[in-house]
Structure 1
């Protein structure tokens, strides 16, 4: 049985959201894929074909990443981005689902669990960001300068795509031209840098321990033991603060677990959701 695949955009909460919807013909379970910072739904390219065997899927480009839009009126706080994802799923008439969030996407998933607790049945957090603070006030004030987005563009250009990719994967041989192009393409347009300025300005910081302890949704945490971006210690701390959670550690794996270990991640997700 094949899924019915749909690719499209909807204006949600004042901004254009690009998404891909794979509707399984018989499964009653839907998973929602939420990517990380400086990424897009491209980061789930190896996981989606596996998930399609057992689940319906909604994969979302968070604004301003991927093919989603940017609006100067949009508030790029984690709470508002979480609300936007929830509203998109309401528009798609999907009342219940499981969240799969990678890196910053894990923090968006946690915001959904905390602020909108009656929607997601379970959550899978892949190397989720955690405990990061809000940007310092001088930097927030500087973000109001007219050409600040160009400073962000210059900063990211100096850091270099190749260096960033080597930082997020343990097995360097996985880095090929398809991966390079997939992660570079969203940054060829200036609009994303204006959106990143908004994210720097509006991001309220990750949920504190006091908020995490109120979350009652079952959570599976999957981490790479060589994660240089969000170290394993963060995963261990989240596993302590989240009351109904378990932590799985993948050996010889970096931050980009959906790219590096899609089969292992899929098996863990399947077991966690179906029991």
Structure 2
């Protein structure tokens, strides 16, 4: 019996190791050409800082429209495809759902060298809406998308009827605690990434629980870029985006937003940029989402806070039922 148990453990461990090896071999094309999205992808053409680029988006129409449009903005380590279930349920309720891939992400162009700003990303997103003739929207942003959704609402307050922020980063100003890093520093950091480091980061910062098979899809998309011949250019874009996130905080401007706002916060979330650059004592003071959520909700003129006890950084992936219920309730008011 003991020998059988040892053999069984060996087989399981070997299978897990082989599965990990296969995941490491995944190749993601530069503009996700080999990644199937859940809905049809369309493009608009932009000229940014002298560089012609194309920006991808999905525009999903409901069978029975309720006359409302909601735009979903993805986070730093993701693309619009991870809104699949959210979009399906929103269209079932009559919402038209628009999901962009920001420039530098997913099926959108990876520029050779542009300056990234949240203002530019907001303007790009507005260009999609203008091309579609959309005047009013509900706006949902997750993680980095929450920072972008905040900037978009500040720039185009007449466009956004309701704002939803799901575990947005930027609820605190990391520059106060974390030493400044140049874009070159961020770039060298990105070049050192591998499958194991990406998974460890997501495990520690996003989920805080047992790794589930459904998380692999989103990890493999990102990890597959490491095997791409264009990865140095992709890594440079990532470095520029990290610099944007770190140097362009929005936390000082929440009180200027008059739009009704729903803040959804996973209580296990501890995400913070630059934690690996400070002492453990300082790390303990960063990314405290239970505290940050309460403090931030008070800053909005019309803010509502929903706390999800079992969720980390991705409630719409990790604890979907607890995410979608308050979202639909807020949208129906």
Relative to the length of structure 1, the TM-score reads: 0.86
Alignment correspondent of 1:226:
268
Higher radius of gyration, 1 or 2 = 2
Change (3 A) 1:182 1:142: closer
Alignment correspondent of 2:43:
9
Q: Which runs of 5+ in 1 are unaligned?
A: none
Alignment correspondent of 2:27:
none
* Equivalent pair of 1:127/1:222 in contact (CA under 8 Å): yes
Structure 2 residue 249 is the aligned partner of structure 1 residue 206:
yes
Distance 1:162 1:18 in 2: 26
CA RMSD after TM alignment: 2.4
> Which residue of the other structure, out of 303, 309, 312, is the alignment partner of 1:254?
312
Alignment correspondent of 2:238:
196
Which deviates more from structure 2 when the two are superposed, residues 227-236 or residues 171-180? 171-180
Displacement after TM superposition at 1:110 (Å) = 0.4
Change (3 A) 1:51 1:188: farther
> Which residue of the other structure, out of 33, 43, 51, is the alignment partner of 2:90?
51
Structure 2 residue 294 is the aligned partner of structure 1 residue 236:
yes
Distance 1:51 1:273 in 2: 10
* Equivalent pair of 1:51/1:266 in contact (CA under 8 Å): no
Q: Which runs of 5+ in 2 are unaligned?
A: 1-38, 272-286
* Equivalent pair of 1:8/1:19 in contact (CA under 8 Å): yes
Give runs of aligned pairs for residues 78-117 of structure 1, distance below 5 A. Answer: 78-117=118-157
- Structure ranking higher on relative contact order (CA contacts 8 Å, 6+ apart): 1
Distance 2:243 2:219 in 1: 28
Displacement after TM superposition at 1:70 (Å) = 2.1
Change (3 A) 1:274 1:75: same
Give runs of aligned pairs for residues 168-179 of structure 1, distance below 5 A. Answer: 168-176=206-214, 177-179=216-218
Structure 2 residue 272 is the aligned partner of structure 1 residue 272:
no
